[in-house]
Structure 1
């Protein structure tokens, strides 16, 4: 009786995962305090690193991953419990070189086009706003900005 109860509790946490060769996976980092693995340490360190590609399936629950050369000392075989499938939209991934990322991992947002203009009436004044499409963003990512601020920083958008 007790065995079946314990088994039912354990089965709730168990996941039957299977991955194919060539899939991209994230690798879970140890959450133990003071343990440094994969060059990550600290309270705000990420939970997963990667994504890494599957080279082969070793057995039902073990996979061999293609790790970068900086992780050459890490054994490339991992249990399915420390792996998480990388689900992403390839169109939404931006190439870092195209963004011209600086050394401090920042980049400059540049407006490309003004889509719309609106004037909002307050009690004593009117505030005009423009809808701006930014470089390296989709049209759905356009934002409303104060017209005076955009006009002072980027006057070439208002030439026409």
Structure 2
């Protein structure tokens, strides 16, 4: 049973938690919140996943135009490139779109 839920589709990793200290060679004690007090706070290394948080990847919410229910609408700004993919029997035209509030590297086909 994972974090109070049964079944193979239950969440495997919940969220990042602070490591309080190392217990033995391969176990760590985590600072779990009050709603997870039924879970033992000491975990083996294979049950933990490294959290690679990058502060530069966090965008401020003020400039994005997010409404009160945190809905974000992506608006296309420009078409950067066009290409035609040839399959066996047909051709598919695709375009590379630049979106509002996204850098050029984030443009999608």
TM-score (norm 2): 0.58
Q: Distance in 2 between matches of 1:40 and 1:94?
A: 33
Correspondence 1:75-90 to 2 at 5 A? 75-90=40-55
Tell me, what secondary structure is at the counterpart of 1:57?
A: strand
- Structure (1 or 2) with the larger CA radius of gyration: 1
Q: Which has the higher helix share?
A: 1
User: Quick one: structure 1 residues 117 and 50, their matched pair in 2 at CA, closer, same or farther if it must change by over 3 Å?
Assistant: closer
Whether 1:55 and 2:20 are equivalent positions in the alignment is yes
User: Quick one: structure 1 residues 63 and 101, their matched pair in 2 at CA, closer, same or farther if it must change by over 3 Å?
Assistant: farther
Q: Distance in 2 between matches of 1:67 and 1:40?
A: 17
Total equivalences in the alignment: 99
CA RMSD of aligned residues (A): 3.8
TM-score (norm 1): 0.44
Q: Kindly provide the CA deviation profile for residues 105-158 of structure 1, in whole angstroms up to 9, marking residues without a partner as x.
A: x7332327436476x8xxxxxx9x6732233x44322235xxxxxxxxxxxxxx
Q: Which runs of 5+ in 2 are unaligned?
A: 85-92
Whether 1:107 and 2:80 are equivalent positions in the alignment is no
